[in-house]
């Protein structure tokens, strides 16, 4: 479907799941087949090992798009990841720069677009916030829609055959940055975005059971489960091996107080 700048354009934020074409939902596949081109963040400048992430998106498009398709790589702005004093402010600045980059890509290409999002757009991803900024500025007239995807949290539970919550109990989804604080009051925590394996710094690792997974849904996914003090070394070793193999690693884990 060919589009032009005079009409309102579709901007679909499509959750792709963990990267396996078989784990893309039927709704996501339908939307991918309806738009004209796909926006994908190009992080190869800062992270050369992530080039295969683009290749994985291409494989998904080849599997689910019946006609011609275009992948538009949008250079990802640099971000201060060295624990800035104003973390929230640094992230907001980064989001603003990303939104401007997406906006320029939309201006440079006619038609409807889909943003290819790992996992689910609603869970620790910036796509919705960026689309809101673009829509609010009005430089590009877009109708934004969100297509959910299978998250790494769901896949972690499926691979380990566990229920995320205890019977009638709550679950906290947090990040490595907040884990030590949240573990003081929480008994059941899913941890994401933890490049430093903060769980290894918990005061009493013997008090926690862990279910860990890396690169879930890929051919080289890694799984470890057990009491944290007993399997910490194995998690470290497997995480290092996964990162060595691909140049990057995406891991998630569930911590439950024994």
pLDDT, tens digit only, all 258 positions of the chain: 444 445 799 999 999 999 899 999 999 999 999 999 999 987 665 555 567 788 889 999 999 999 999 999 998 887 766 667 787 888 888 889 999 999 999 999 999 999 999 999 999 999 999 999 999 999 999 999 999 999 999 999 999 999 999 999 999 999 999 999 999 999 999 999 999 999 999 999 999 999 999 999 888 899 999 999 999 999 999 999 999 888 889 999 999 999
Residues 133 and 209 in one domain: no
Residues 137 and 236 in one domain: no
Do the strands 251-257 and 208-214 form a parallel or antiparallel pair, or are they unpaired?
antiparallel
How many domains would you assign to the chain? Answer: 2
Phi, psi of 226, deg, nearest 5: 155, -175
Residue 171 forms part of a structural domain = yes
- Give the whole-angstrom CA distance, residue 192 versus residue 156: 11
Contact indicator for 153, 122 with CB cutoff of 8 Å: no
Residues 117 and 16 in one domain: yes
DSSP H helix total and E strand total for the chain: 7, 10
Q: Which domain holds residue 240?
A: 152-257
Contact indicator for 24, 56 with CB cutoff of 8 Å: no
Per-residue burial over 193-222, b = 16 or more CB atoms within 10 Å of its CB, e = otherwise: ebeebbbeebeebebbbbbbbbbbbbeebb
Residues 142 and 201 in one domain: no
Residue 18 forms part of a structural domain = yes
Residue 90 forms part of a structural domain = yes
pTM for the full model?
Answer: 0.88
Residues near 79 by Cβ (< 8 Å), separated by ≥ 6?
90, 91, 94
Residues 100 and 114 in one domain: yes
């Amino acid at each position: 479907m060919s589009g032009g700048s005079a009409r309102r354009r579709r901007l679909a934020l499509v959750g792709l799941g963990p990267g396996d074409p078989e784990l893309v939902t039927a709704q996501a596949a339908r939307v991918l087949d309806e738009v004209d081109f796909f926006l994908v963040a190009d992080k190869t400048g800062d992270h050369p090992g992530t080039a295969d992430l683009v290749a994985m998106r291409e494989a998904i498009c080849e599997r689910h798009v019946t006609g011609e398709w275009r992948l538009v790589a949008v250079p990802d702005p640099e971000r201060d990841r060295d624990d800035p004093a104003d973390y929230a402010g640094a992230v907001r600045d980064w989001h603003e720069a990303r939104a401007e980059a997406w906006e320029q890509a939309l201006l440079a290409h006619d038609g409807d677009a889909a943003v290819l999002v790992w996992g689910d757009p609603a869970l620790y991803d910036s796509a919705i916030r960026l689309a809101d900024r673009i829509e609010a500025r009005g430089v590009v007239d877009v109708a934004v829609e969100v297509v959910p995807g299978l998250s790494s949290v769901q896949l972690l539970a499926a691979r380990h055959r566990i229920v995320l919550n205890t019977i009638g109990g709550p679950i906290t989804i947090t990040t490595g940055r907040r884990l030590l604080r949240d573990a003081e009051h929480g008994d059941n925590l899913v941890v994401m975005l933890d490049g430093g394996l903060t769980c290894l710094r918990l005061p009493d690792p013997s008090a926690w059971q862990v279910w860990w997974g890396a690169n879930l849904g890929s051919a080289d996914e890694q799984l470890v489960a057990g009491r944290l003090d007993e399997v910490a070394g194995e998690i470290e070793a497997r995480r290092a091996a996964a990162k060595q193999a691909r140049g990057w690693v995406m891991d998630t884990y569930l911590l439950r107080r024994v």
